[in-house]
Amino acid sequence: MYFGFGAIAKGCFELFNRKKFNLLAGEKSKFPILLGILDILIGLMLLFNIGASLVILPYFFAAWFIIDSIYEMFFAKIYKGVSEPMYWFTIISNVLGIILGVMLLFNPITSALTLAFLVGAYFMVTGVTYIVAAFG
């Protein structure tokens, strides 16, 4: 249930901040809207259909990691002109997110057993990226 609340909060955050992302990117993108709605739907699925979400939880997180990392890769170009170290930090952390998502996708049994650790590691990397972006 905590993951469901987290997904809903993340989706709302992406929907509310899409204008800032579009301004920073210098282009109109529908991707933040799509990702925000997808996060909210995943969160609702995790909250209200607990039986089915336990079965497909590893696949949810794999898709979530991959899509979210690709989304952040699109916005890495914002940092290229401003801060070269932040640009490379964003690229590296998102490539790790994609690799982690692919590992979750192709090995769901192992990912089900280590899901709490992997999700914690992913959120930690994402949190550090956001903190560095805020002060960078």
Whole-angstrom distance, CA of residue 74 vs CA of residue 77: 7
- Looking at residue 21, what is its pLDDT? 65
Q: What is the pLDDT of residue 122?
A: 72
Q: In this model, does residue 73 exceed pLDDT 80?
A: yes
Residues of the chain with pLDDT > 90, as a percent, come to 1
pLDDT beyond 80 at 75: no
pLDDT value of position 29: 67
- For residue 85, the model assigns a pLDDT of 78
- If one compares 45 and 115, the residue with the highest pLDDT of the two is 45
Q: Which residues contact 131 (CB under 8 A, 6 or more apart)?
A: none
**Span 45-60, mean pLDDT?**
78
pLDDT confidence bin for 76, thresholds 50/70/90: confident
Please report, rounded to a whole number, the percentage of residues in the chain having pLDDT higher than 70: 89
Q: What confidence score (pLDDT) does residue 103 get?
A: 84
Query: pLDDT by residue (tens digit) across 6-48?
Result: 778 888 887 777 776 666 656 666 777 787 888 888 888 878 8
Q: What global pTM score does this model have?
A: 0.61
- In the Cβ-directed half-sphere of 68, how many Cα atoms lie within 13 Å? 26
